Structure 1
Amino acid sequence: MSDLEIRPARQDDLPAIIAMLADDPLGSQRESPEDLTPYTAAFLRLDRDPNQHLVVAEREGRVVGTLQLTVIPGLSRKGTTRSIIEGVRIHADERGSGLGTRLIEWAVEESRAEGCRLVQLTSDVTRTDAHRFYERLGFEASHLGFKLSL
């Protein structure tokens, strides 16, 4: 993995990021890679927020992975700062290469550097392979999640 760079995402990375978000059964139903307008607006909001870390993994000039790390200060757990990992995607050509592990390790290391005492993530109930992956990395299924679409 010495040829791999994990770096902050740039606006010109959006087509590759959105393509990876759309490249699975769930993403193909909710993402629209042909219109980057809403993604550009979201990227600009993320880019201005120091608690948001949208990163890409780049190999030989090509974006091959991504994730978003959000740092959240809080009062619970004696004022614990936590992080949330979201939007983890690996290009189809790179799956099984160890890249996902490297991205998650980066996120955990960055969380420690940000003073976080807890790292959280969610995964859709249908992503059973992802659940095994996260458990292998030491994450524990601990909560039942809920969403409300607005």
Structure 2
Amino acid sequence: MNIRELTTEAEWRRAYPVMKELRTHLEPESYLQLVQEMRGEGYRLFALEEDGEILAVTGVTIRTTLYYGKHLFIHDLVTRADRRSRGCGERLLSYVEEWGRSRGCGSVALTSGLARRDAHRFYEERMGYDRVSHVFRKIF
């Protein structure tokens, strides 16, 4: 298995079917437009591949806030459904954690939907994350 950053539109297109498993509301063109916009804000997309197939993807940014200081923020983390529970997510998340640490980040943060109990268990039990807040949203 190989982990690398995806930097071109062609690579982002290859990652779309995996990302679509998490971000079901996105169509290919809206996905590409958002990735391009987010790149301007520091968004980086990484993929775990095996034999040329993308098995998992994660999108991250480095942020600085008063609460966390300089930290890595995980926007997206998804493993292809047929490859879950085989260590792909753990390998990819560990990789980007180290990537952030090497760039001066003191912690990592992410949000996860309320219904994603398996993901919560993964973050807390496998990856050592603490549940520290609730996230609120208001749609305009």
Q: So what's the TM-score if we normalise by structure 2?
A: 0.87
Match of 2:34 in 1: 42
Match of 2:26 in 1: 31
The match for 2:138 is 148
CA positional deviation for 1:146: 0.6
| Sequence identity percentage | 24
Aligned-residue RMSD, C-alpha: 1.9
Aligned residues: 138
State the TM-score, normalizing by the size of structure 1.
Answer: 0.81
Matched, 1:139 2:134: no
Where structure 2 has 5 or more consecutive residues not aligned to the other structure, the ranges are none
Correspondence for 2:95: 106
| 1:73-88 aligned within 5 A | 73-74=64-65, 76=66, 80-88=69-77
Report the counterpart of residue 115 of structure 2 in structure 1: 126
- The answer on 1:22 being equivalent to 2:20 is yes
Shift of 1:57: 1.0
The 2-side partners of 1:149 and 1:18 are apart by 25
Give unmatched runs, 5+ long, in structure 1.
none
Any conservation in 2 of the 1:81–1:116 contact (CA below 8 Å)? yes
Displaced runs of 4+ in structure 1, greater than 4 A?
none
Q: Is the 8 A contact 1:7 1:57 kept in 2?
A: yes
